[in-house]
Amino acid sequence: MKLYHTSSVVIRDPDIYRGRKNADFGQGFYLTPDLDFARRWAFADAVINAYELDESGLLLQRLERDEQWYRYIFQNRRSCDEWNADVVIGPIANDTIFDTLGIITSGFLDPSEALQLLMIGPEYVQVAVKTEKAVSQLRWTGSERIKRFDEKQLKEEQREYQRQFAEAMSRM
């Protein structure tokens, strides 16, 4: 599997313990199979690191945008990762503009409404490498220094996401 990770530096040897414990799929090294999406994370003078993951012998957990995915992310955002997968693959929770998962703790949304909100917008895939075994099967293949992604396009996508989010909230 070809994967990409955007950073400020070349990362030949990923560290699964460096990231946040309360990320979507728990602590791990996050990548994407989508080079275009990796470019979207680029900031001024960013580096896109490329890797190949040998999946043989690894316990993979694949998720879709559904209730299981939602429950797993909700638990991980509370730093309660209960799975023993080497690698978790699935959609990113599109709640960076509005903290959908945080809103449900206020009692404003119930879990089914939160899931509806998380389904808004494009679906981008993330891959979390979570164990040393998986890291040992992740091979760095090179890197590319790039300029920032087109900010106008990102802002337009954010405006459309905000519009869809507001429309969905008005129906709740």
- Alpha helices (H) along 20-150: 35-40, 67-77, 100-105, 111-118, 132-136
Fold topology of 2-95+123-149 = Phosphoenolpyruvate Carboxykinase; domain 3 (3.90.228)
Q: Which one, of 158, 154, 162, lies nearest residue 42 by Cα?
A: 154
Residue 25: which residues within 8 A CB-CB, separation 6 or more?
Answer: 72, 73, 76, 81, 88, 90, 126, 128, 130
User: Do 109 and 117 form a contact (C-beta atoms < 8 A)?
Assistant: yes
Using a pLDDT cut of 70, give the percent of the chain over it.
87
**Mean predicted lDDT score pLDDT of the chain:** 85
Neighbours of 133 (CB within 10 A): 13
User: Do 140 and 51 form a contact (C-beta atoms < 8 A)?
Assistant: yes
Reported as a single tens digit per residue, the pLDDT across 115-126 is 777 777 778 899
Confidence (pTM): 0.80
Reported as a single tens digit per residue, the pLDDT across 65-109 is 988 988 898 888 777 778 889 999 999 887 554 455 555 556 666
pLDDT attached to residue 70? 85
Q: Give the model's confidence band at 163: pLDDT under 50 very low, under 70 low, under 90 confident, else very high.
A: confident
CA dist., res. 73 & res. 22, Å (int):
9
Average pLDDT over residues 32-41: 89
Using a pLDDT cut of 90, give the percent of the chain over it.
45
Which segment of 4-18, 39-53, 154-168 scores lowest on mean pLDDT?
A: 154-168
